[in-house]
Structures are given as structure tokens and as C-alpha cells.
Amino acid sequence: MIGSLELFQPTTVQEASQALAELGDKARIYAGGAELLLLLRNGLLQSEVLVDVKRIERLHRLEMDNGVLRIGACVTHHALENSALVREHAPALAYAESQVANVRVRNQGTLGGNLAFNDPHSDPGTVLLIHDAWLATGNQNSERRVALSDFFVDMYATALEAGDLLLEVEIPRLPAGMKSVYQRLHRYQRPTLGVAVGAAMRHGVIEEVRLAVGCVGPKAERLTELERKLSGAKLNDARRILSEETKYLRALLRPVDDLLGSADYKLYMTGVMLADALEQAGQNGNG
């Protein structure tokens, strides 16, 4: 049983933000409830008021705007996995969305809710990191843009402040010639490990590369130092280079032992799957 709740259904960002500011910790933003209702039922979070943001029209947009794909915070995972626009502009994201939990969760859960919850065991954020995605957030006074890498602060913690709403995700196109791939390892519905790779290759040489890893530690991370080492390397040498980077990966990713596997296992598999994903990127990626 979920404890007694009240409902507020604003139609503008201003109304929603004002309610959140006035009600403080008593209120929670509610977009679909895929994550929130579980926490309320299990007593991990208390709330008296749901601020249902689904009636705010702007949060449902899904469109191209000057080469940038804009996805409103309330667009569901299922809508994204089926979107021709997403498949064309960000094929690895479309694939990652198709792998989120199960079809019921994908029907209910939203991209905005997923990012704002910032559960470490999640898929879409890892892919969005290789796109250098930005997030638009807003409150009753102003709007601002935050780079996704700055938005993810720590496990279950984001750069959102009291009264802030996540409005939309801005996804720039990858550089010309770059192919993208998402791969995940999972024993249960939540992934043990997710890797995202964007790579431009020519004659077996990695010309430009972007790498991100999620689920292993507190939050998804870009691997910028390793990207520099791999730029200019032969694809055939990538697996060896990656296998020599355990120390760097451990320091950056801060892996933990948990029911999904030991920290050592996750680190080992990170190297294996980054290499696999690079090879897949060399063969057209997720399309």
C-alpha cells in the first residue's frame, strides 16, 4: 500500500515550480511513477503531494531544432525506442531505450524521470554522454542549460535545485562519420554494466572516439583521458590498450561489489565490452 497522497496537476512550468517551492519536501515531481511509486510503497521516500507534470505541453515535445534533437522530459522510453527521428539521429540511444527494463516500464517511465532519478543502474544517460547532451531546467523565475556530465552529481543526486524542473534533453548530432554503439550486460532487468562508444574510423585507425561507462559505480562517466589515448590508435590494438587501463578505470569509475557482481568483474568486463563496442562501431554501430 502506498500512503495517502494528494494530487496537483499544473499546466505550466511556473505553476509546477511554484507548488514545489511552496510545498518543499512534502511534494514530489510525478511524471509516470515508474520509479517514484516504488520508493513510496517501500518507505524509502515520503511524500504527501504528487505534482503531476504530464499536463505541461512543452514536456512532451520530440523534434529536431537546428540539428539538435529536443526530447521533452515526459516522453516515454517506449515512444523513444519507436521514434524514427531518434533512430536516425541517435541510433545508440534508440537501442538503449529498447533495452530499458521491460515494455511495461518503458510505457510508463520517461526519459526525464530516468535522468532526474539518476539511479546508477540505468541505460539512457550513458549514451547521452557520448552525444555531449545538454539539459534544459527551469523554475518559476528562469531557465538554464546544464551539460549532462555536470547534471549527474552522484548516485541519486543531480544538479536540480529545489523548485527546479527538468524540461528537456538537447542532443547534438555526433561528428560526421562517427558511428555509435550501446552495449549492456545484464542478469536482471537493471543493467550490471552499460558502455557507449562513438567512433570515427578510417583504414582500421580510430580517428576520433568518445567513450562512456555506466552502472559500474555511482554515476555514468565519460572516459576523456582514455579517449585521447585511443585517438590515432589502430582498432586492432584497442583491446590491448584497454586491458592496460584498469588503474585509470578503477579510479574514475569507482566500482563497487554488489549483487550484480564484484568490482573486479565489472572492471574486467568494462574493458572487454568497450573493445567489443569499438569493433561494432567499426562495422556501422547500432545503425
DSSP single-letter state for residue 234 = B
Nearest approach in angstroms of CB 21 to other proteins is 11
Q: How far apart, in Å, do the first and last CA atoms of the chain sit?
A: 44
What span, in angstroms and rounded, lies between the C-alpha atoms of 89 and 115? 20
**Can you tell me which of 12, 141, 189, 236 binds other proteins, judged by CB under 8 A?**
189
In the bound state with other proteins, the residue whose beta carbon lies nearer, of 21 and 205, is: 21
In the bound state with other proteins, the residue whose beta carbon lies nearer, of 15 and 207, is: 15
In the bound state with other proteins, the residue whose beta carbon lies nearer, of 47 and 137, is: 47
- Please classify residue 195 by burial: count the beta carbons closer than 10 Å to its beta carbon, then call 0-12 exposed, 13-18 middle and 19+ buried: buried
84 binds other proteins (CB under 8 A): no
Dihedral over Cα of 38, 44, 50, 56: its sign: negative
Nearest approach in angstroms of CB 86 to other proteins is 17
257 binds other proteins (CB under 8 A): no
Place of cell 554494466: 193
25 binds other proteins (CB under 8 A): no
Place of cell 584498469: 246
107 binds other proteins (CB under 8 A): yes
Nearest to 196 by CA among 221, 228, 225, 171: 221
22 binds other proteins (CB under 8 A): yes
In the bound state with other proteins, the residue whose beta carbon lies nearer, of 13 and 69, is: 13
Are 112 and 169 in contact, with CB atoms under 8 Å apart? Answer: yes
In the bound state with other proteins, the residue whose beta carbon lies nearer, of 19 and 230, is: 19
**Can you tell me which of 15, 119, 132, 279 binds other proteins, judged by CB under 8 A?**
15
37 binds other proteins (CB under 8 A): yes
256 binds other proteins (CB under 8 A): no
7 binds other proteins (CB under 8 A): yes
Nearest approach in angstroms of CB 7 to other proteins is 5
* Collapsed DSSP state (helix, strand, coil) of residue 6: strand
Nearest to 72 by CA among 111, 42, 43: 111
Cell of 261: 557482481
In the bound state with other proteins, the residue whose beta carbon lies nearer, of 19 and 199, is: 19
4 binds other proteins (CB under 8 A): yes
- C-alpha dihedral over 60, 116, 114, 1, to 10 degrees? -100
* Collapsed DSSP state (helix, strand, coil) of residue 73: coil
117 binds other proteins (CB under 8 A): no
Binding site for other proteins (CB under 8 A): 1-9, 15, 18-19, 22, 33-34, 37-38, 40-41, 49-50, 78, 101-105, 107-108, 189
